[in-house]
Amino acid sequence: MTRLEVQTAASMQALGARIGHRCRPGDLIVTAGDLGSGKTTLVQGLGRALGVIEQITSPTFVIARVHVTGSGFPQLVHVDAYRLGSVLEFDDLGLDADFAESVTVVEWGEGKAEELSSDYLTVQIGRADEGGDETRRVDISAVGDRWTASDLELIVGP
């Protein structure tokens, strides 16, 4: 696991962009954190790195959105599993149909999305303190062989 502190929303988007630059078709990123912790902000940066030009918002009420990306990039599937009560409900989304050609990011996906792949990146976001500070503590972990130590070093950045 790699831990870092992210000071601002712009820095969270930059972290997302660094993850996005490392992504390839079939990648799964599972994010977790309290409401308002920065999960969607992270996905906005990731989408920007993949050439998404439309606004990325939380798919809480639609459950999943497919974002068109730039030429040569895999499409971005952005899922919010918060309202899904079980792995069976998650399976009913049918995400595995286009999984191999897409980058899939699942907010609130812990305990549900891991069925999609044996290789994935987890991003846990929490508030660094209880004050009015925007600082977030971000823990990034790789499961499986896909994400290497070198990838994590490049994601964490300077």
- Domain map (residue ranges) of the chain: 2-156
Residue 74: CB atoms within 10 A of its CB come to 18
Task: Give the phi and the psi of residue 32 in degrees, each rounded to 5.
Answer: -145, 155
11 pLDDT tier (thresholds 50, 70, 90): very high
* SS3 at position 1: coil
pLDDT at 86: 58
Flag whether pLDDT at 73 surpasses 60.
yes
Identify the residue with better confidence: 98 or 136.
136
- pLDDT, mean of residues 101-122: 89
Intra-chain end-to-end CA distance of the chain, in Å: 17
Please report, rounded to a whole number, the percentage of residues in the chain having pLDDT higher than 90.
Answer: 54
pLDDT at 90: 61
* SS3 at position 135: coil
Identify the residue with better confidence: 86 or 101.
101
Q: How far apart are CA 57 and CA 120, in angstroms?
A: 22
Identify the residue with better confidence: 13 or 79.
13
Please write the tens of the pLDDT for every residue from 34-60.
988 999 999 999 999 999 999 999 877
Q: Of 5, 24, 25, which Cα lies nearest the Cα of 15?
A: 5
Residue labelled with tokens 């309202």: 83
In CATH, the number for domain 2-156 is: 3.40.50.300
pLDDT at 114: 84
- pLDDT, mean of residues 101-130: 88
